[in-house]
Amino acid sequence: MNWELVKKRSDIIRKIRDFFNEKGYLEVDTPLLSPDLIPESSIEIFKTELVNPYRGNRDLYLIPSPEIWMKKLLSQGSGDIFQICKSFRNSEQTGRQHNSEFTMLEWYKTGFNYMDNISETEDLFRFLTDENSPEYIRPPFTRMTMEEAFVNYAGFSLEANFEREQLFSQCLRLDLKPDREDSWEVLFNRIFIDRVEPSLPQEKPLVLYNYPSRIKTLARDIEGTVWSERWELYGGGMELANCFTEETDQRKIREFYAEEKALKDSFSPVSHHVDENFYRFFGVGFPATSGVAMGLDRLIMLLTGESTIGGVILFPLL
C-alpha cells in the first residue's frame, strides 16, 4: 500500500469539499441502491435483489451516478448541491482509465447554464492545483466546439454533413469501414472515437462543447440548431467530466424516457425498471440548473501524476 498516495487522495477530497462548502453548496448523501434508474442506452448497470421473506423480493440497482436522486432533491427546493459517492457501471473494461466501481463527484448549480459551469469547474481546478501541478490539468481550459473538432481532425463540417447518409459517406472517405446498417450514432462514434478524440489537444484541460442533439441525453437543445447545451472535459487526453444545461421540459423528458427505455430493452443484457412518472419532478418550481458529473478517481490520477486509475484506488477490481 502506497500510504503517501492514500494521504494525497484524502487531501484532494477534503479540498473538494472545502471548495463547494465555501461556495455555499449543500453536501448531500443519497442511496447507492435504487428501485429504478434513468434509462441510458450507453450505460450498463448492476442488478441485485432485496430478499424479503414477508413481503416478497424486489429488484434493486446500483446507481451509475447519483443523478436520479439529486434531481429529486432539486425539485424539492434543495438549492445548489454536491455529492461525492460510489457509482457503478457494468460491462466496461477494467484498465488504465476504468474501474467498475468508481468515485463520482457530481454537482448542480441553480441559475447556471452549461457555459457558466465551465467557469465553476475552472475555479475548482484552480483550487486544487498549483505551480507544481502538471500543465495538462491546470486552468485556464482550452475551449473547442464539436463542429470545430470535426473540421480540424476529421476534415469535414459535421453540421453540413449531419444526415445519416452523409455521415456514412464520410466514414467511407476516412476508410472506417462502416456497415450499411449502422445507425447515425454508430457512424458518429466511428468518426469521433477513431479520428477526432485521439487528435484533441492535450497541453491544457480541454472543454469540448455543443454536442449533437441526436445523441439523446437530458441536456437542453440549442433552439434552431443541431446542437445541445452539453460539454465534456478532457485532461491529459482522458475524459473527466460531463456537463448539461439540464432539460426541464416535461414532455421532452417523458419522450426521452420512452425512447431510451425501448432502445435499452432491445439489446441490453441487464434491463431495469424506470419510474414513468419521473418527468413530473420537472414541473413548476424545478429550477434552471446545470449539472456536472466528474470521475473523481481519474481527476486524482492526473493531479498526482499516476499513470493508471488503479494507482489511486485502494482496492481496484482487477
CATH number of the domain where residue 44 is located: 3.30.930.10
* Domain assignment of residue 73, yes or no: yes
Would you say residue 203 lies in a domain?
Answer: no
Q: Structural domain tally of the chain?
A: 1
Q: Each residue of 177-206: b (16+ CB within 10 Å) or e? A: ebeeebebbebbebbbeebbbeebebebbb
Task: Give the pLDDT score at 124.
Answer: 98
Banded pLDDT at 298 (limits 50, 70, 90): very high
Residue 83's pLDDT band, with cuts at 50, 70 and 90, is very high
Q: Fill in the DSSP letter of residue 192.
A: I
Residue 236 within any structural domain of the chain: no
Q: How far apart are CA 53 and CA 182, in angstroms?
A: 47
Residue 275 belongs to domain spanning: 3-141+242-311
Q: What is the mean pLDDT of residues 122-151?
A: 97
Short-list 71, 51, 129, 140, CA closest to 293:
71
DSSP per residue, 4-44: HHHHHHHHHHHHHHHHHHHTTPEE----SEES-----TT-B
Which residues in 7-31 are b (16+ Cβ under 10 Å) and which e? Answer: ebbeebeeebeebbeeeebeebebe
> Does an H or E element contain 144, and which?
strand 142-145
**Rounded-to-integer distance, Cα 183 and Cα 167, Å:** 10
Is residue 318 scored above 90 in pLDDT? no
Strand partners, 185: none
Stated as kind and residue range, the H or E segment containing 82 is: strand 81-88
Exposed, middle or buried by CB within 10 Å (0-12, 13-18, 19+), for 174? middle
Lowest mean pLDDT among 64-68, 90-94, 283-287: 90-94
Report whether pLDDT(202) > 90.
yes
Any domain includes 251: yes
pLDDT of 249 above 80: yes
Residue entry with cell 467557469? 119
CA atoms of 267 and 244, how far apart (whole Å): 26
- Closest Cα to residue 290, out of 72, 80, 117, 81? 117
The model scores a pTM over 0.75? yes
Nearest to 310 by CA among 69, 135, 97, 31: 97
Of residues 232, 234, 252, the one with CA closest to residue 242: 232
Q: Does residue 272 lie in a domain region?
A: yes
- Asked whether residue 146 is assigned to any structural domain, the reply reads no
- Could you report how far apart the first and last alpha carbons of the chain are, in Å? 15
Q: Is residue 217 part of a domain?
A: no
Q: Does 229 reside within a domain? A: no
Alpha-carbon span 227 to 213, nearest angstrom: 5
Residues 208 and 240: their CA atoms lie apart, in Å, by 11
Residue 33: pLDDT above 90? yes
Kindly indicate the confidence band of residue 285, based on its pLDDT and cuts at 50, 70 and 90.
confident
pLDDT bin (cut points 50, 70, 90) of residue 32 is very high
Enumerate helices (H) and strands (E) in the chain, giving the number of each: 8, 11
Largest CA distance in the chain: 63
